[in-house]
Amino acid sequence: MEIALLIVCILLIAIVLLQSNKASDAGQIITGGNEVLFQNQKERGVELLITRLTVLLGIAFFVLSFILFIIG
């Protein structure tokens, strides 16, 4: 069970590093470039896959951690 948690952790770190930098868009709010703030931007293709995979790996991480907490 610990090995599965370790694999999920490594995959979660790798997939988070692959995500696009959305913080630069949020930083434009402070500098006055808020036209990006109200645009309706949809994720498509690989970006959508990476986002969904991040959510799934995050849920798997919490479930495995909770199971190991209950067992131990």
DSSP assignment string, 20-51: ---HHHHHHHHHT-TTTTT------THHHHHH
| Residue 10 included in any domain | yes
In the numeric block, the tokens 């991040």 are attached to 54
Residue 57 domain boundaries:
1-18+43-72
Mean pLDDT value across residues 39-62: 87
Number of compact structural domains in the chain: 1
**Confidence at residue 34, expressed as pLDDT on a 0 to 100 scale:** 55
What does the pLDDT average to over 61-65?
Answer: 97
Q: Is 32 or 60 the better-scoring residue by pLDDT?
A: 60
11 within some domain: yes
How far is it, in rounded angstroms, from Cα 35 to Cα 21? Answer: 17
* pLDDT above 60 (res 29): no
Summarize the confidence of residues 19-34 as an average pLDDT: 61
Mean per-residue pLDDT over the chain, rounded: 82
